[in-house]
Amino acid sequence: MKPLTLILPVLAAMGTAPALAQGTGSEGYFELYNNTEGNVVISFYTSDGETWSENWLGDEAQIMPGQSGTAEFFADTGACDQFFQVGWLGQDGTEVLDEVISIDICEASNVYLDDNEIYYD
């Protein structure tokens, strides 16, 4: 399977657009890696602490175990420090939300989604 490319909407109107500053984020993208044994990513959300974005994956996109996806954004303003939350496909077909983590979207080159941990570099 080839990697899934995600084109993320500009969320400046919602106040959740990441800033373009230092690191890979400054180039407008970061890579998401689903390193889980059998969990499917069906959503992820960002927040500046005020409001949450819509699902950046859209309604149909998924990242299967072992796949990665490029998250691309186009805003030139906004906060680098964001909250990040992943939604997984539950056994009953519903969305199961993971814990919220803090992420510096401007410095994140890679976001790793492991079975019991989410981290970035």
pLDDT per position as a tens digit, 23-64: 345 456 778 899 999 999 999 888 888 899 888 888 778 999
Confidence label for 76 from pLDDT (cuts 50, 70 and 90): low
pLDDT greater at residue 27 or residue 94 = 94
| Dist. CA 87–CA 80, nearest whole Å | 22
- Strand 81-89 to strand 95-97: parallel, antiparallel, or no bridges (unpaired)? antiparallel
Q: Are 63 and 34 in contact (CB under 8 A)?
A: yes
Domains contained in the chain, CATH given: 4-115 (2.60.40)
Residue 35 is predicted with a pLDDT of: 97
Average confidence (pLDDT) over 80-97: 93
pLDDT of residue 31: 86
More confident residue, 59 or 85: 85
Q: Read off the tokens for 104.
A: 């510096």
Quote the pLDDT of residue 77. 62
For residue 71, count other CB atoms closer than 10 A to its CB: 23
- Whether the Cβ atoms of residue 56 and residue 70 lie closer than 8 Å to each other: no
Task: Return the pLDDT at 121.
Answer: 86
Of 23, 89, 78, nearest in space to 55 by CA: 89
How many other β-carbons are positioned within 10 Å of the β-carbon of residue 117?
A: 10
For β-strands 29-34 and 68-72, DSSP reports them as antiparallel
If you average pLDDT over every residue of the chain, what do you get? 76
Predicted structure pTM score: 0.73
